[in-house]
Amino acid sequence: MTNIYNIEVNDITFGENHPLVLIAGPCVIEEEKDCIQLAEKIKDIAIKAGIPFIFKASYDKANRSSIKSYRGPGAEKGIKILANIKKDLGVPVLSDVHCCNEIDFVQDVLDVIQIPAFLCRQTDLLLHAAKTGKPINIKKGQFMAPCDVEHIADKVHSTGNKNIIFTERGTMFGYNNLVADMRSVVIMKKLGFPVVFDATHSVQLPGEMGSTSGGQREMIEPLTSAAVSVGCDGLFIETHEKPEEALSDSATMLPLERLLPLLKKAIRIREAISAD
């Protein structure tokens, strides 16, 4: 496969010999004012840490465990909120898409189109997203071996779009558990792609609480350190000022107050391995 390692998102570069990139925000858009304020605070933290920042938030969580779970404001309202954050804060924005028609509606706002893990092999969705020419962040499915992402990349490449980022978010291991195998980061990088480590979804315990997923928030920091030490190019971190009150993924989101120390440590590790 052709080496396409460095991927540009506006003035941010994912890849070897480039700074670690932060993709961060709440799991789902809740109140508009709260989302904008959180984006501002994360931007300030990213500036203090000296790390490039892409804001993420889902306008629709289409794969919630329960029909009763909060999904978000929907594409129409949610994309307007993301557009305002992009304009007012001057940061790139990312969100996940679930169907082809949705892509047509949101592509003019999103700087990165994200394909959810459960949809990572959906050919029509991949092709439609790729034809926008935008960078595509593809979450590797919990059911996939890392070497198999090459077939996903072939689908995107068939449109002429070479702007692919893969995100590692854990592999299903038995019931209600994920395992983050750091070999996955190494394998996908060897295939020629920048790799992001999803530090918060990787600590998820799917369906552990019946109608919702549990998690092991205390594992975010050690897994982040491990992923950076094996060479991941970015970190995907869902964060919230009061995770216990969050309307989605409350068990796995990082408290905002812990974000800056985590980033500083990750950057020190990145600098150490780069100096070798």
Lowest-pLDDT range of 84-93, 99-108, 211-220, 260-269: 211-220
Q: How confident is the model at residue 276 (pLDDT cuts 50, 70, 90)?
A: low
DSSP state of 30: -
Query: What token pair was written down for 94?
Result: 């990312």
Instruction: Report the pLDDT averaged over residues 104-110.
Output: 97
Residue 62 predicted with pLDDT over 50: yes
Q: What is the CA radius of gyration of the chain?
A: 17
State yes or no: pLDDT of 211 exceeds 60: no
Q: What percent of the chain has pLDDT over 90?
A: 83
> Could you tell me the sign of the dihedral formed by the alpha carbons of 235, 236, 240, 245, in that order?
negative
pLDDT at residue 1, rounded to an integer: 44
Cβ distance 149 to 188 under 8 Å? yes
Which domains does the chain show, CATH number per domain? 18-275 (3.20.20.70)
Would you say residue 237 has pLDDT above 50? yes
Token pair for residue 79?
């994309």
Alpha-carbon gap, residue 125 to 111, rounded angstroms: 17
> Average pLDDT, whole number, for the chain?
93
H or E stretch covering 222? helix 220-229
